[in-house]
Structure 1
């Protein structure tokens, strides 16, 4: 048998992040070209926060920055 075998024993632990830190992560990903929806979902999966809340916070921050 040739090749590699990968055994995942346990997934990565969720990182505790404040909502502000998580929002900053979302904004950083968006600045790198990731869609807001995808960035929100990715950060939510890593932090355990709500992707909807992150999405809404990012939209609010966007509209606040443009005012």
Structure 2
């Protein structure tokens, strides 16, 4: 994954190490947080789209407190 071109979120203010980054990896999408560049998640475009639509729709607000 490290050889791929990572793209930061447009909501990432001023760079730094608190940004979500995505990279195309064949038919998969790689996702990482800039503060942990070696911790990479991968998913397919359909699942990522469904997740993002759920976030925008508020389906995860608020998440239950599991403490």
TM-score (norm 2): 0.31
Query: Which structure features the higher share of strand residues?
Result: 2
TM-score (norm 1): 0.31
